[in-house]
A and B are shown apart, each in its own frame.
Chain A
Amino acid sequence: MIEFIIYIFSYSFLLYAFLALIGVSIISSTIGTYVTINRFSYIAGAISHSILFGMGLFNYLKYTTKINYFTPLNGAFVSAILFSFIIGFLYNSKKERIDTILSAIWSIGMSGGILFIFLTPGYNQELTRYLFGNILLVSLNDILILFIFCLILILIFSFFYKKIISIGFDNEFAYIMGQNVKNFNLFFILLSSFAIVLLTQIVGIVLLIALLTLPCATILKFNISIKKTIILSGLLTFITGFLGLFISFKLNLPVSPIIISILGIIYILVFLLKSSLINRINILFKKNFK
């Protein structure tokens, strides 16, 4: 382990991965807790896949118009904003179920993206880089953007903490008390989408979905306050991420699946410990051996 820590400070790619991990932990704890307690963590999958629409479209426009503004990354942000507004308006109108909206966005966005990729000649290597990010390939620029975003997140979550938990618990009462619930929801859906676009490039789709659900879900099993959940799930993400980097470095295995496996095992263990399953097994054993 000490050897690995020395390596972190001697290889820039490991150092960048380590720094990115700090930022990723902050996003995973704040946004992850927000989407999990409000029961739409499914947004992680929906946004990260549907932004393929903007990426494909902008890639196609770049090829046809030759304007440099049309980069896949810009496309990802533009489509994330568009889809956030659609999700936010439908969610606020209460005329459709949130998981139906997210499934629709997921499939429509992704299929649109596939069509544009098909229409663009040549192999779109750049797109796959954006969609399947790798924490070992982050640049200094990515880390800077990530840290600025994390700072904004920390400020927002500490300023609006009481409003976040109040509106999440009972939006009708919050509305009666004069809170602008609709704009608040829309703003946080937008914030979540930005976080998801950033994470897509830094850690990739699969790890991002795991990071926005598993750490928070594990900590929530202990029935503690939301503030503690945010802090502890951030710590859990950081520790498992660090362990994942270490194991993948030692055994020469891909990082993301290792981190997800560790998180998954911890989640299942906590779930079993906290549920009555173990109690039931105990009772069963006692009955059989009496």
Chain B
Amino acid sequence: MKKRLNSNIVIEAKDLTFSYDEFSKPAIENISFSIFEKEFVSIIGPNGGGKSTLVKLILGLLKPTSGEILIWGKEPESVRNKIGYVPQHINFDPLYPISTLDVVMMGRLNNSFFHKFNKKDLEIAKNAIKFVGMEGYEKKLISNLSGGQRQRVLIARALAVDSSILILDEPTANLDKEAQAFLYEILQKINKEKTILLVSHDTGVVPSISSSVLCLNRTVFEYSNDINFYNCKVEKLEKRI
């Protein structure tokens, strides 16, 4: 059992509720949890359980209906450009002609008007590419890469943000077992320095590599930092509704 290394709270939710409109049932209802520094938290739960909604709330893309969510004790909008985020890769245009390096350099974007990347930005991006084992692919177009390679590029982009938090939204969807295993290996390596928040459908492997599991089905069912805690099966949660 991994222990919480120290008590620095990175992400904190207090009575968080969110509904997409006032007439429908809330997507997330009254959840409270704290995530500590260098934890590896996996968020699992059924489809429509509010996993992606929670990620959007953490990134400040959505605003809570009630309650609050704090990152390093601040509102998400003010710090979201300091969070490494790996979105679901279903969102991308597979024909978009952009190179690996250009994708990773997106992690170095800032909001100045006449923005130019400097040598340090390039160095950070190249290190991130090396970290995920994609060196030599810098000039290759994303559309020519395999699903697993593409996912590693997106992780490199999130690493290029140079943040202490990494949030991944179902990075292993559509990947074969081998690519999945490789990805988990990279994530465990990253976890030595960063807090990781992983949204996943994979109830088999993910709980064993994470230090805590957050089961989400509209409201938090279980939150445990005990890796031997396997009661949190999606199938069971679905029956309880």
Contact = CB atoms under 8 A, between A and B. Distances in A.
Contact of A178 (B81, B114, B117): B81
Interface in A143-186: 159, 162-163, 165-166, 168-170, 172-180
The A interface, classified by DSSP as helix, strand, loop or mixed, is: helix
Interface string B162-206: 000000000000000000000000000000000000000000000
A176 B80 contact: yes
Interface in B66-121: 80-81, 83, 85, 87, 91-93, 95-99, 102-103, 105-107, 109-111, 114-115, 117
A162 B80 contact: no
A89 B237 CA distance: 41
Given A163-B115, A176-B83, A177-B81, A169 B103 contact: yes
B109 A166 contact: yes
B92 A177 contact: no
Q: Chain A, interface size: which category?
A: 20 to 34
Contacts of B97: 37, 220, 223-226, 229
Interface residues of B, number: 33
B146 interface: no
B59 interface: yes
A226 B103 CA distance: 12
B172 to A, nearest CB: 19
The B interface, classified by DSSP as helix, strand, loop or mixed, is: loop
A173 B114 contact: no
Contacts of B81: 176-178
Contacts of A220: 95, 97
Nearest to A178: B111
B111 A168 contact: no
Interface in A164-214: 165-166, 168-170, 172-180
A176 B98 CA distance: 19
Nearest to A159: B114
Interface string B48-70: 00000000000101000000000
B169 to A, nearest CB: 11
Contacts of A168: 96, 98
A177 B112 CA distance: 11
B99 A169 contact: no
Given A178-B81, A220-B97, A162 B111 contact: no
The 6 closest A-B pairs by CB, nearest first: A178-B111, A177-B109, A178-B81, A166-B106, A169-B98, A177-B81
Interface of A: 37, 39, 159, 162-163, 165-166, 168-170, 172-180, 220, 223-226, 229
Given A220-B95, A225-B97, 14 more contacts: A37-B96, A39-B93, A163-B109, A165-B98, A166-B109, A168-B98, A169-B96, A169-B142, A172-B87, A176-B59, A177-B110, A223-B97, A225-B99, A229-B97
